[in-house]
Chain A
Amino acid sequence: MVAKWLVDGRNLILPIFIFIITAALSVYLHNSLRYREFNFVSTLVEEELKKIEQIIYFQTNDKFLSIKRMAQRWEEIGSMPFKQLDTDSRNYAVYIGDGEEEFYNNNVDKKNLDTKFSIERQIDIHDKKWKIKITPTNQLVNNHQSTLPLIVLISGILIATLLAIMARYILILQIKSRNIATSNNLNNEFISTVGHELKTSLTSIHGVLGLIVGGVVGEVSDKLMDLLRIAYKNSERLNYIIDDILDAERIESGKIQLNLQTISIRPLLERAIEINSVYDKKYGVTFTIEGSSEGQEVIADKRRLMQVMANLLSNAAKFSPKDSNVIIRIKTQPGKMRIDISDKGYGIDTMPRDSVFKKFLQTDYSKIEPREETGLGLYITKCLVEIMNGEIDFYSEKGKGTTFFFTLPIAERLDK
Protein backbone atom coordinates (compact mmCIF):
# COMPACT_ATOMS: atom_id res chain seq x y z
CA MET A 1 0.00 0.00 0.00
CA VAL A 2 2.88 2.34 0.94
CA ALA A 3 4.68 1.46 -2.29
CA LYS A 4 1.53 2.14 -4.27
CA TRP A 5 1.13 5.46 -2.51
CA LEU A 6 4.73 6.40 -3.26
CA VAL A 7 4.69 5.53 -6.93
CA ASP A 8 1.27 6.97 -7.61
CA GLY A 9 2.08 9.43 -10.35
CA ARG A 10 -0.49 12.09 -9.48
CA ASN A 11 1.03 15.36 -8.35
CA LEU A 12 4.60 14.13 -7.91
CA ILE A 13 6.15 17.19 -9.52
CA LEU A 14 5.78 19.51 -6.52
CA PRO A 15 7.18 17.01 -3.94
CA ILE A 16 10.13 16.21 -6.25
CA PHE A 17 10.75 19.92 -6.80
CA ILE A 18 10.69 20.56 -3.04
CA PHE A 19 13.07 17.64 -2.46
CA ILE A 20 15.56 18.84 -5.09
CA ILE A 21 15.55 22.44 -3.83
CA THR A 22 15.95 21.47 -0.16
CA ALA A 23 18.60 18.83 -0.91
CA ALA A 24 20.52 21.26 -3.13
CA LEU A 25 20.42 23.85 -0.35
CA SER A 26 21.81 21.38 2.18
CA VAL A 27 24.60 20.32 -0.24
CA TYR A 28 25.42 24.00 -0.74
CA LEU A 29 25.57 24.58 3.04
CA HIS A 30 27.72 21.46 3.47
CA ASN A 31 30.18 22.63 0.80
CA SER A 32 30.33 26.15 2.24
CA LEU A 33 31.20 24.84 5.69
CA ARG A 34 33.76 22.44 4.26
CA TYR A 35 35.27 25.25 2.18
CA ARG A 36 35.66 27.43 5.27
CA GLU A 37 37.46 24.62 7.07
CA PHE A 38 39.63 23.95 4.01
CA ASN A 39 40.57 27.64 3.84
CA PHE A 40 41.44 27.64 7.52
CA VAL A 41 43.88 24.71 7.12
CA SER A 42 45.35 26.31 3.98
CA THR A 43 45.89 29.53 5.95
CA LEU A 44 47.62 27.58 8.71
CA VAL A 45 49.97 25.96 6.18
CA GLU A 46 50.61 29.33 4.54
CA GLU A 47 51.43 30.89 7.93
CA GLU A 48 53.80 28.02 8.73
CA LEU A 49 55.52 28.59 5.42
CA LYS A 50 55.96 32.29 6.22
CA LYS A 51 57.40 31.36 9.61
CA ILE A 52 59.98 29.13 7.92
CA GLU A 53 60.73 31.94 5.48
CA GLN A 54 61.39 34.33 8.35
CA ILE A 55 63.61 31.85 10.16
CA ILE A 56 65.66 31.40 7.02
CA TYR A 57 65.72 35.17 6.46
CA PHE A 58 67.14 35.95 9.88
CA GLN A 59 69.53 33.01 10.00
CA THR A 60 71.01 33.43 6.54
CA ASN A 61 72.00 37.07 6.49
CA ASP A 62 75.49 36.36 5.18
CA LYS A 63 74.91 37.09 1.56
CA PHE A 64 78.44 36.12 0.55
CA LEU A 65 77.99 32.48 1.50
CA SER A 66 76.25 30.01 -0.79
CA ILE A 67 73.15 28.21 0.50
CA LYS A 68 75.09 24.99 0.55
CA ARG A 69 77.85 26.57 2.63
CA MET A 70 75.32 28.08 5.00
CA ALA A 71 73.70 24.75 5.46
CA GLN A 72 77.05 23.19 6.20
CA ARG A 73 77.70 25.89 8.80
CA TRP A 74 74.31 25.25 10.40
CA GLU A 75 75.20 21.66 10.63
CA GLU A 76 78.43 22.59 12.31
CA ILE A 77 76.88 24.95 14.84
CA GLY A 78 74.01 22.63 15.75
CA SER A 79 71.41 22.46 13.01
CA MET A 80 70.23 26.02 13.24
CA PRO A 81 67.66 27.10 12.05
CA PHE A 82 66.31 23.64 11.40
CA LYS A 83 66.39 22.67 15.06
CA GLN A 84 63.77 25.37 15.67
CA LEU A 85 61.78 23.99 12.76
CA ASP A 86 61.83 20.52 14.28
CA THR A 87 60.24 21.94 17.40
CA ASP A 88 57.69 24.23 15.76
CA SER A 89 56.73 22.18 12.79
CA ARG A 90 55.96 18.76 14.08
CA ASN A 91 52.55 18.99 12.41
CA TYR A 92 54.10 19.50 8.98
CA ALA A 93 56.48 17.70 6.70
CA VAL A 94 59.06 20.33 5.72
CA TYR A 95 61.51 20.12 2.89
CA ILE A 96 64.11 22.84 2.32
CA GLY A 97 66.62 22.92 -0.48
CA ASP A 98 67.99 25.07 -3.27
CA GLY A 99 66.19 23.28 -6.05
CA GLU A 100 68.99 20.81 -6.64
CA GLU A 101 70.03 19.65 -3.24
CA GLU A 102 68.05 18.95 -0.10
CA PHE A 103 69.28 20.68 3.06
CA TYR A 104 66.55 19.80 5.45
CA ASN A 105 63.75 17.23 5.71
CA ASN A 106 62.05 16.53 9.01
CA ASN A 107 61.21 13.03 7.78
CA VAL A 108 57.53 12.82 8.63
CA ASP A 109 55.99 9.56 7.40
CA LYS A 110 54.38 10.23 4.00
CA LYS A 111 51.40 8.11 4.96
CA ASN A 112 50.47 10.64 7.63
CA LEU A 113 50.43 13.58 5.24
CA ASP A 114 47.50 15.29 3.60
CA THR A 115 49.02 16.28 0.28
CA LYS A 116 46.05 18.32 -0.95
CA PHE A 117 47.14 21.13 1.41
CA SER A 118 50.78 20.88 0.35
CA ILE A 119 52.56 24.13 -0.63
CA GLU A 120 55.77 24.19 -2.63
CA ARG A 121 57.42 27.55 -3.25
CA GLN A 122 60.56 29.04 -4.72
CA ILE A 123 61.61 32.03 -2.54
CA ASP A 124 64.31 34.66 -2.97
CA ILE A 125 66.02 35.38 0.35
CA HIS A 126 69.15 37.60 0.35
CA ASP A 127 69.47 37.13 -3.41
CA LYS A 128 69.52 33.38 -3.06
CA LYS A 129 66.83 31.02 -4.27
CA TRP A 130 65.33 28.69 -1.67
CA LYS A 131 62.88 25.96 -2.38
CA ILE A 132 60.50 25.16 0.43
CA LYS A 133 57.81 22.49 0.47
CA ILE A 134 55.46 22.10 3.39
CA THR A 135 52.70 19.52 3.84
CA PRO A 136 50.40 19.29 6.87
CA THR A 137 49.84 15.97 8.63
CA ASN A 138 46.48 14.25 8.55
CA GLN A 139 46.18 14.81 12.27
CA LEU A 140 46.47 18.60 11.88
CA VAL A 141 43.91 18.63 9.08
CA ASN A 142 41.54 16.41 11.05
CA ASN A 143 41.85 18.64 14.09
CA HIS A 144 40.45 21.49 12.08
CA GLN A 145 37.72 19.60 10.26
CA SER A 146 34.45 19.03 12.15
CA THR A 147 31.49 16.74 11.51
CA LEU A 148 29.17 19.78 11.24
CA PRO A 149 29.11 19.90 7.41
CA LEU A 150 28.26 16.20 7.29
CA ILE A 151 25.52 16.63 9.90
CA VAL A 152 24.15 19.57 7.89
CA LEU A 153 24.16 17.46 4.72
CA ILE A 154 22.44 14.45 6.29
CA SER A 155 19.89 16.62 8.12
CA GLY A 156 19.23 18.54 4.93
CA ILE A 157 18.56 15.37 2.95
CA LEU A 158 16.27 14.10 5.73
CA ILE A 159 14.38 17.43 5.85
CA ALA A 160 14.10 17.39 2.04
CA THR A 161 12.63 13.89 2.17
CA LEU A 162 10.25 14.87 4.96
CA LEU A 163 9.08 18.01 3.15
CA ALA A 164 8.55 16.05 -0.06
CA ILE A 165 6.44 13.46 1.79
CA MET A 166 4.47 16.22 3.52
CA ALA A 167 3.87 18.01 0.21
CA ARG A 168 2.67 14.77 -1.30
CA TYR A 169 0.42 14.07 1.66
CA ILE A 170 -1.09 17.58 1.52
CA LEU A 171 -1.70 17.19 -2.22
CA ILE A 172 -3.44 13.87 -1.66
CA LEU A 173 -5.56 15.43 1.10
CA GLN A 174 -6.41 18.30 -1.24
CA ILE A 175 -7.47 15.86 -3.95
CA LYS A 176 -9.57 13.95 -1.42
CA SER A 177 -11.22 17.10 -0.06
CA ARG A 178 -11.87 18.26 -3.64
CA ASN A 179 -13.46 14.90 -4.37
CA ILE A 180 -15.57 15.17 -1.21
CA ALA A 181 -16.64 18.72 -2.21
CA THR A 182 -17.54 17.46 -5.68
CA SER A 183 -19.48 14.58 -4.18
CA ASN A 184 -21.26 17.01 -1.81
CA ASN A 185 -22.14 19.22 -4.77
CA LEU A 186 -23.43 16.20 -6.66
CA ASN A 187 -25.43 15.17 -3.61
CA ASN A 188 -26.84 18.70 -3.29
CA GLU A 189 -27.70 18.68 -6.96
CA PHE A 190 -29.28 15.24 -6.57
CA ILE A 191 -31.47 16.34 -3.66
CA SER A 192 -32.47 19.51 -5.49
CA THR A 193 -33.29 17.55 -8.65
CA VAL A 194 -35.30 14.94 -6.76
CA GLY A 195 -37.23 17.74 -5.04
CA HIS A 196 -37.87 19.40 -8.40
CA GLU A 197 -39.04 16.18 -10.04
CA LEU A 198 -41.33 15.29 -7.13
CA LYS A 199 -42.88 18.73 -7.20
CA THR A 200 -43.32 18.71 -10.97
CA SER A 201 -45.27 15.46 -10.76
CA LEU A 202 -47.15 16.78 -7.78
CA THR A 203 -48.13 19.89 -9.77
CA SER A 204 -50.03 17.70 -12.25
CA ILE A 205 -51.71 15.59 -9.55
CA HIS A 206 -52.56 18.62 -7.42
CA GLY A 207 -53.71 20.56 -10.49
CA VAL A 208 -56.00 17.84 -11.82
CA LEU A 209 -57.54 17.24 -8.39
CA GLY A 210 -57.88 20.97 -7.82
CA LEU A 211 -59.72 21.47 -11.09
CA ILE A 212 -62.11 18.59 -10.40
CA VAL A 213 -62.70 19.60 -6.77
CA GLY A 214 -63.17 23.22 -7.93
CA GLY A 215 -65.89 22.08 -10.32
CA VAL A 216 -64.10 23.41 -13.38
CA VAL A 217 -64.55 20.20 -15.36
CA GLY A 218 -68.14 19.55 -14.42
CA GLU A 219 -70.10 18.01 -11.61
CA VAL A 220 -69.24 14.77 -9.83
CA SER A 221 -71.20 12.78 -7.28
CA ASP A 222 -70.92 13.81 -3.60
CA LYS A 223 -69.24 10.54 -2.66
CA LEU A 224 -66.64 10.95 -5.36
CA MET A 225 -66.17 14.58 -4.40
CA ASP A 226 -65.47 13.59 -0.76
CA LEU A 227 -62.80 11.15 -1.93
CA LEU A 228 -61.29 13.64 -4.37
CA ARG A 229 -61.14 16.26 -1.62
CA ILE A 230 -59.15 13.84 0.54
CA ALA A 231 -56.77 13.19 -2.36
CA TYR A 232 -56.48 16.94 -3.04
CA LYS A 233 -55.68 17.82 0.59
CA ASN A 234 -53.11 15.06 0.79
CA SER A 235 -51.42 16.19 -2.41
CA GLU A 236 -51.09 19.60 -0.74
CA ARG A 237 -49.71 17.99 2.39
CA LEU A 238 -47.21 16.04 0.30
CA ASN A 239 -45.84 19.34 -0.97
CA TYR A 240 -45.23 20.54 2.60
CA ILE A 241 -43.57 17.24 3.42
CA ILE A 242 -41.23 17.48 0.41
CA ASP A 243 -40.23 21.03 1.38
CA ASP A 244 -39.64 20.07 4.99
CA ILE A 245 -37.75 16.87 4.22
CA LEU A 246 -35.46 18.74 1.81
CA ASP A 247 -34.85 21.41 4.45
CA ALA A 248 -34.23 18.88 7.23
CA GLU A 249 -31.77 16.97 5.01
CA ARG A 250 -29.90 20.17 4.15
CA ILE A 251 -29.69 21.20 7.81
CA GLU A 252 -28.52 17.80 9.03
CA SER A 253 -25.86 17.43 6.37
CA GLY A 254 -24.64 20.98 7.01
CA LYS A 255 -25.38 21.98 3.44
CA ILE A 256 -27.65 24.83 4.34
CA GLN A 257 -26.09 28.10 3.29
CA LEU A 258 -26.74 31.24 5.28
CA ASN A 259 -26.54 34.80 4.12
CA LEU A 260 -26.12 36.53 7.47
CA GLN A 261 -26.81 40.25 7.36
CA THR A 262 -28.00 43.02 9.63
CA ILE A 263 -31.78 43.19 9.63
CA SER A 264 -34.25 45.64 11.13
CA ILE A 265 -36.56 43.28 12.97
CA ARG A 266 -39.80 45.26 13.08
CA PRO A 267 -40.18 45.75 9.28
CA LEU A 268 -39.29 42.07 8.81
CA LEU A 269 -41.98 40.97 11.27
CA GLU A 270 -44.52 43.21 9.56
CA ARG A 271 -43.61 41.64 6.22
CA ALA A 272 -43.83 38.14 7.76
CA ILE A 273 -47.36 38.92 8.98
CA GLU A 274 -48.30 40.22 5.54
CA ILE A 275 -46.97 37.09 3.81
CA ASN A 276 -48.67 34.78 6.32
CA SER A 277 -51.96 36.66 6.27
CA VAL A 278 -53.46 33.55 4.66
CA TYR A 279 -53.36 31.92 8.11
CA ASP A 280 -55.02 34.76 10.03
CA LYS A 281 -57.84 34.83 7.47
CA LYS A 282 -58.17 31.07 7.45
CA TYR A 283 -58.19 30.56 11.22
CA GLY A 284 -59.90 33.87 12.07
CA VAL A 285 -57.05 35.24 14.20
CA THR A 286 -55.30 38.60 14.24
CA PHE A 287 -51.54 39.00 14.30
CA THR A 288 -50.42 41.99 16.38
CA ILE A 289 -46.89 43.28 16.95
CA GLU A 290 -45.99 44.76 20.33
CA GLY A 291 -42.76 46.31 21.51
CA SER A 292 -39.97 47.97 19.66
CA SER A 293 -36.48 47.04 18.59
CA GLU A 294 -35.33 50.58 19.57
CA GLY A 295 -33.54 51.06 16.28
CA GLN A 296 -31.38 48.03 16.83
CA GLU A 297 -30.74 45.39 14.20
CA VAL A 298 -30.16 41.65 14.43
CA ILE A 299 -27.74 39.45 12.54
CA ALA A 300 -29.68 36.81 10.65
CA ASP A 301 -30.44 35.30 7.27
CA LYS A 302 -33.49 37.16 6.00
CA ARG A 303 -34.99 34.24 4.08
CA ARG A 304 -34.47 31.76 6.89
CA LEU A 305 -35.82 34.18 9.47
CA MET A 306 -38.93 34.54 7.32
CA GLN A 307 -39.21 30.75 7.28
CA VAL A 308 -38.90 30.65 11.09
CA MET A 309 -41.63 33.28 11.38
CA ALA A 310 -43.86 31.48 8.86
CA ASN A 311 -43.60 28.26 10.90
CA LEU A 312 -44.26 29.94 14.24
CA LEU A 313 -47.07 32.19 12.95
CA SER A 314 -48.84 29.34 11.17
CA ASN A 315 -48.51 27.15 14.29
CA ALA A 316 -49.87 29.90 16.52
CA ALA A 317 -52.79 30.55 14.13
CA LYS A 318 -53.62 26.83 13.85
CA PHE A 319 -53.82 26.36 17.62
CA SER A 320 -55.64 29.64 18.39
CA PRO A 321 -59.35 29.92 19.03
CA LYS A 322 -61.32 31.87 16.47
CA ASP A 323 -61.31 35.69 16.76
CA SER A 324 -58.34 35.64 19.11
CA ASN A 325 -55.12 37.62 18.96
CA VAL A 326 -51.69 36.18 18.24
CA ILE A 327 -49.22 38.60 19.81
CA ILE A 328 -45.72 39.02 18.40
CA ARG A 329 -43.63 40.77 21.03
CA ILE A 330 -40.17 42.28 20.47
CA LYS A 331 -37.91 42.48 23.51
CA THR A 332 -34.37 43.81 23.61
CA GLN A 333 -32.02 41.96 25.92
CA PRO A 334 -28.28 42.43 26.50
CA GLY A 335 -26.61 41.42 23.22
CA LYS A 336 -29.70 39.86 21.76
CA MET A 337 -33.22 40.47 20.57
CA ARG A 338 -36.05 38.23 21.72
CA ILE A 339 -39.20 37.63 19.72
CA ASP A 340 -42.20 36.04 21.43
CA ILE A 341 -45.14 34.57 19.52
CA SER A 342 -48.03 33.99 21.89
CA ASP A 343 -51.32 32.28 21.10
CA LYS A 344 -54.36 31.83 23.31
CA GLY A 345 -54.83 28.19 22.42
CA TYR A 346 -55.22 25.20 24.67
CA GLY A 347 -51.51 24.92 25.40
CA ILE A 348 -49.08 22.06 25.12
CA ASP A 349 -49.72 19.67 27.97
CA THR A 350 -49.89 16.18 26.61
CA MET A 351 -46.34 15.69 25.36
CA PRO A 352 -42.94 15.69 27.05
CA ARG A 353 -41.39 19.14 26.90
CA ASP A 354 -38.19 17.98 25.16
CA SER A 355 -40.09 16.25 22.37
CA VAL A 356 -41.66 19.46 21.03
CA PHE A 357 -38.66 20.29 18.83
CA LYS A 358 -38.01 16.71 17.79
CA LYS A 359 -38.42 15.42 14.25
CA PHE A 360 -41.81 14.01 13.27
CA LEU A 361 -43.48 15.50 16.30
CA GLN A 362 -46.81 13.80 16.85
CA THR A 363 -49.52 16.32 17.69
CA ASP A 364 -53.17 15.85 18.31
CA TYR A 365 -54.37 15.65 14.72
CA SER A 366 -57.96 16.11 15.70
CA LYS A 367 -57.25 19.74 16.43
CA ILE A 368 -55.71 20.67 13.09
CA GLU A 369 -56.27 19.74 9.53
CA PRO A 370 -54.02 16.88 8.48
CA ARG A 371 -52.54 18.63 5.47
CA GLU A 372 -50.94 21.30 7.64
CA GLU A 373 -48.86 18.86 9.67
CA THR A 374 -45.52 17.41 8.56
CA GLY A 375 -44.00 16.91 12.01
CA LEU A 376 -40.84 18.71 10.90
CA GLY A 377 -41.83 22.38 11.25
CA LEU A 378 -40.64 23.00 14.82
CA TYR A 379 -37.57 20.80 14.34
CA ILE A 380 -36.54 22.87 11.29
CA THR A 381 -37.41 26.11 13.08
CA LYS A 382 -35.17 25.20 16.04
CA CYS A 383 -32.30 24.19 13.72
CA LEU A 384 -32.60 27.41 11.72
CA VAL A 385 -32.62 29.61 14.84
CA GLU A 386 -29.61 27.78 16.24
CA ILE A 387 -27.53 28.00 13.06
CA MET A 388 -28.25 31.75 13.11
CA ASN A 389 -26.63 31.76 16.59
CA GLY A 390 -29.93 32.12 18.42
CA GLU A 391 -31.93 30.12 20.93
CA ILE A 392 -35.51 28.95 20.91
CA ASP A 393 -37.86 27.69 23.62
CA PHE A 394 -41.45 27.91 24.73
CA TYR A 395 -43.68 28.08 27.75
CA SER A 396 -47.24 26.93 27.87
CA GLU A 397 -50.15 26.92 30.26
CA LYS A 398 -53.03 24.55 29.84
CA GLY A 399 -56.11 26.36 28.58
CA LYS A 400 -54.36 29.74 28.42
CA GLY A 401 -52.02 29.39 25.50
CA THR A 402 -48.46 28.87 24.38
CA THR A 403 -45.60 31.27 23.77
CA PHE A 404 -42.75 30.26 21.54
CA PHE A 405 -39.78 32.62 21.78
CA PHE A 406 -36.43 32.85 20.07
CA THR A 407 -33.43 35.13 20.29
CA LEU A 408 -31.05 36.47 17.67
CA PRO A 409 -27.75 38.29 18.21
CA ILE A 410 -27.93 42.08 17.99
CA ALA A 411 -25.70 43.66 15.35
CA GLU A 412 -22.91 45.84 16.73
CA ARG A 413 -23.54 49.43 15.75
CA LEU A 414 -20.68 51.14 13.97
CA ASP A 415 -21.26 54.48 15.71
CA LYS A 416 -20.71 52.95 19.14
Chain B
Amino acid sequence: MTKKLKRILYIDDDEDILIIAKLALEKIGGFCVQTYKDGTEIVSYAEKFKPDVILLDVMMPVINGSSALELIKKNDSLKDIPVIFMTAKERSGELSHYLSTGVAGIIPKPFDPMSLSNEISILWRQLNDKI
Protein backbone atom coordinates (compact mmCIF):
# COMPACT_ATOMS: atom_id res chain seq x y z
CA MET B 1 0.00 0.00 0.00
CA THR B 2 1.30 3.45 -0.95
CA LYS B 3 2.50 5.54 1.98
CA LYS B 4 0.49 8.73 2.30
CA LEU B 5 2.28 11.95 1.41
CA LYS B 6 2.01 14.34 4.34
CA ARG B 7 5.08 16.42 4.97
CA ILE B 8 6.81 18.61 2.42
CA LEU B 9 9.99 20.63 2.91
CA TYR B 10 10.47 23.43 0.37
CA ILE B 11 13.65 25.48 -0.04
CA ASP B 12 13.63 28.48 -2.40
CA ASP B 13 15.43 31.82 -2.16
CA ASP B 14 12.32 33.67 -3.37
CA GLU B 15 10.12 34.39 -0.36
CA ASP B 16 7.04 35.23 -2.45
CA ILE B 17 7.16 31.88 -4.18
CA LEU B 18 7.54 30.13 -0.81
CA ILE B 19 4.40 31.89 0.49
CA ILE B 20 2.37 30.98 -2.61
CA ALA B 21 3.57 27.37 -2.71
CA LYS B 22 3.00 26.87 1.05
CA LEU B 23 -0.51 28.28 0.75
CA ALA B 24 -1.31 26.15 -2.30
CA LEU B 25 0.12 22.94 -0.85
CA GLU B 26 -1.53 23.40 2.56
CA LYS B 27 -4.91 24.65 1.39
CA ILE B 28 -5.36 22.53 -1.74
CA GLY B 29 -3.23 19.47 -1.00
CA GLY B 30 -3.70 19.46 2.77
CA PHE B 31 0.00 18.86 3.32
CA CYS B 32 2.12 19.99 6.22
CA VAL B 33 4.68 22.31 4.64
CA GLN B 34 7.83 23.88 6.02
CA THR B 35 9.76 26.42 3.95
CA TYR B 36 13.25 27.94 4.13
CA LYS B 37 15.07 30.57 2.08
CA ASP B 38 18.51 28.97 2.20
CA GLY B 39 19.59 25.37 1.74
CA THR B 40 22.84 25.51 3.70
CA GLU B 41 21.23 23.84 6.73
CA ILE B 42 19.09 21.49 4.64
CA VAL B 43 20.35 18.42 6.49
CA SER B 44 19.36 19.72 9.92
CA TYR B 45 16.01 21.04 8.58
CA ALA B 46 15.26 17.62 7.08
CA GLU B 47 16.44 15.72 10.15
CA LYS B 48 14.16 17.81 12.38
CA PHE B 49 11.12 18.03 10.10
CA LYS B 50 11.37 14.50 8.62
CA PRO B 51 9.67 15.36 5.30
CA ASP B 52 8.23 12.79 2.90
CA VAL B 53 9.30 14.94 -0.04
CA ILE B 54 11.79 17.78 -0.45
CA LEU B 55 11.18 20.53 -3.00
CA LEU B 56 14.30 22.41 -4.05
CA ASP B 57 14.80 25.52 -6.12
CA VAL B 58 17.73 25.01 -8.52
CA MET B 59 19.27 28.49 -8.73
CA MET B 60 19.88 29.75 -5.23
CA PRO B 61 22.64 32.17 -4.22
CA VAL B 62 24.31 30.49 -1.23
CA ILE B 63 23.93 26.83 -2.06
CA ASN B 64 22.27 25.76 -5.29
CA GLY B 65 19.78 22.94 -5.72
CA SER B 66 22.33 20.44 -7.03
CA SER B 67 24.64 20.99 -4.04
CA ALA B 68 21.74 20.78 -1.60
CA LEU B 69 20.68 17.52 -3.27
CA GLU B 70 24.22 16.21 -2.83
CA LEU B 71 24.06 16.94 0.93
CA ILE B 72 20.82 14.97 1.18
CA LYS B 73 22.13 12.02 -0.85
CA LYS B 74 25.27 11.85 1.31
CA ASN B 75 23.24 11.51 4.50
CA ASP B 76 22.27 7.91 5.25
CA SER B 77 19.08 8.82 7.11
CA LEU B 78 17.89 11.27 4.40
CA LYS B 79 19.14 9.79 1.15
CA ASP B 80 15.89 7.95 0.38
CA ILE B 81 13.70 11.06 0.66
CA PRO B 82 12.56 11.99 -2.88
CA VAL B 83 13.82 15.40 -4.01
CA ILE B 84 11.89 17.39 -6.61
CA PHE B 85 13.51 20.34 -8.37
CA MET B 86 11.38 23.46 -8.79
CA THR B 87 13.06 25.55 -11.46
CA ALA B 88 12.57 28.54 -13.68
CA LYS B 89 15.65 27.56 -15.64
CA GLU B 90 14.43 27.42 -19.20
CA ARG B 91 11.72 25.10 -20.42
CA SER B 92 10.84 21.80 -18.82
CA GLY B 93 11.94 19.78 -21.84
CA GLU B 94 15.47 21.04 -21.36
CA LEU B 95 15.77 19.94 -17.77
CA SER B 96 15.95 16.21 -18.32
CA HIS B 97 19.67 16.21 -17.54
CA TYR B 98 18.84 16.92 -13.90
CA LEU B 99 17.13 13.55 -13.71
CA SER B 100 20.48 11.83 -14.05
CA THR B 101 21.64 13.51 -10.83
CA GLY B 102 19.20 11.57 -8.66
CA VAL B 103 16.27 13.97 -8.76
CA ALA B 104 12.88 12.30 -8.39
CA GLY B 105 11.13 14.86 -10.60
CA ILE B 106 11.16 18.36 -12.01
CA ILE B 107 8.41 20.93 -11.76
CA PRO B 108 9.00 23.92 -14.00
CA LYS B 109 8.25 27.45 -12.85
CA PRO B 110 5.93 29.19 -13.15
CA PHE B 111 3.89 26.38 -11.68
CA ASP B 112 0.13 26.36 -11.47
CA PRO B 113 -0.69 26.70 -7.74
CA MET B 114 -4.01 24.92 -8.22
CA SER B 115 -2.41 21.80 -9.70
CA LEU B 116 0.89 21.86 -7.79
CA SER B 117 -0.33 19.51 -5.04
CA ASN B 118 -1.67 17.11 -7.65
CA GLU B 119 1.59 17.15 -9.61
CA ILE B 120 3.58 16.34 -6.48
CA SER B 121 1.10 13.62 -5.49
CA ILE B 122 1.40 12.00 -8.94
CA LEU B 123 5.20 12.03 -8.68
CA TRP B 124 4.94 10.61 -5.15
CA ARG B 125 2.68 7.77 -6.34
CA GLN B 126 4.94 6.99 -9.30
CA LEU B 127 7.95 6.81 -6.99
CA ASN B 128 6.15 4.53 -4.54
CA ASP B 129 4.91 2.30 -7.36
CA LYS B 130 8.50 1.86 -8.52
CA ILE B 131 9.49 0.73 -5.04
> Would A239 and B110 count as touching, CB distance under 8 A?
yes
User: B93 contacts which chain A residues (CB < 8 A)?
Assistant: 303, 306-307, 310
A10 at the interface (CB under 8 A from B): no
Tell me whether A203 and B88 are in contact in the complex, defined as CB-CB below 8 angstroms, given that A214-B28, A216-B113 are known contacts: yes
Query: B20 near A208 (CB under 8 angstroms)?
Result: yes
Interface residues in A, total, Cβ within 8 A: 28
Q: A204 to B17, Cβ gap below 8 A?
A: yes
A239: B residues at CB distance < 8 A: 110
A200 touching B17, Cβ below 8 Å: yes
Majority-rule SS of A interface residues: helix
For chain B residues 12-49, which have a beta carbon within 8 Å of chain A?
14, 16-17, 20-21, 23-24, 27-28
- Which of B20, B90, B96, B110 sits near A211, CB closer than 8 Å? B20
A199 lies within 8 A of chain B by Cβ: yes
B91 at interface by CB-CB < 8 Å: yes
Among B16, B88, B111, max chain A CB count under 10 A is at: B88
A360 and B20 CA atoms in complex are apart in Å by: 33
Q: Does any Cβ of A come within 8 Å of B76's Cβ?
A: no
Q: How near does chain A come to B2, taking the closest CB pair, in angstroms?
A: 22
Residues of B within 8 A of A235 (CB): 110
Q: Check B59–A196 contact: CB distance below 8 A.
A: yes
Structural contact, B114 and A199, CB atoms closer than 8 A:
no
A207 within 8 A of B: yes
Do B88 and A196 touch (CB < 8 A)? yes
Q: Beyond A192-B90, A200-B109, A303-B94, is A211–B24 a contact (Cβ under 8 Å)? A: yes
Q: Does A206 contact B (CB under 8 A)?
A: yes
Asked whether A210 is an interface residue with its Cβ less than 8 Å from the other chain, the reply is: yes
Alpha-carbon distance between A217 and B16 when the two chains are bound, in angstroms: 15
User: SS class of chain B's interface: helix, strand, loop or mixed?
Assistant: helix
- A214's partner among B14, B21, B91, B113 (CB-CB below 8 A) is B113
Interface residues of A in 211-225 (CB under 8 A from B): 211, 213-214, 216-217
Interface membership of B89, Cβ < 8 A: yes
Contact call B113/A192, Cβ cutoff below 8 A: no
B91-130 at interface with A (beta carbon < 8 Å): 91, 93-94, 96, 109-114
A268 within 8 A of B: no
* Bound Cα distance A206, B16 (Å): 11
Which one of B90, B109, B111 contacts A246 once the chains associate, using CB atoms below 8 Å?
B90
Closest beta carbon of chain A to B26's beta carbon, Å: 9
B125 to chain A, nearest CB (A): 16
A sample of 27 cross-chain residue pairs with beta-carbon separation below 8 angstroms, ordered by A number, consists of A192-B90, A195-B88, A196-B90, A202-B88, A203-B14, A203-B20, A203-B109, A205-B110, A206-B110, A207-B110, A210-B24, A210-B112, A210-B113, A211-B20, A211-B23, A211-B113, A211-B114, A213-B114, A214-B114, A216-B27, A216-B28, A235-B110, A239-B110, A246-B90, A247-B91, A306-B93, A307-B93
A contact residues vs B (CB 8 Å cutoff): 192, 195-196, 199-200, 202-208, 210-211, 213-214, 216-217, 235-236, 239, 243, 246-247, 303, 306-307, 310
Question: What would 8 more interface pairs be, CB under 8 Å, given A203-B17, A211-B20, A216-B113?
Answer: A196-B89, A203-B20, A203-B88, A208-B20, A216-B23, A216-B28, A235-B110, A310-B93
Interface residues of B (CB under 8 A from A): 14, 16-17, 20-21, 23-24, 27-28, 59, 88-91, 93-94, 96, 109-114
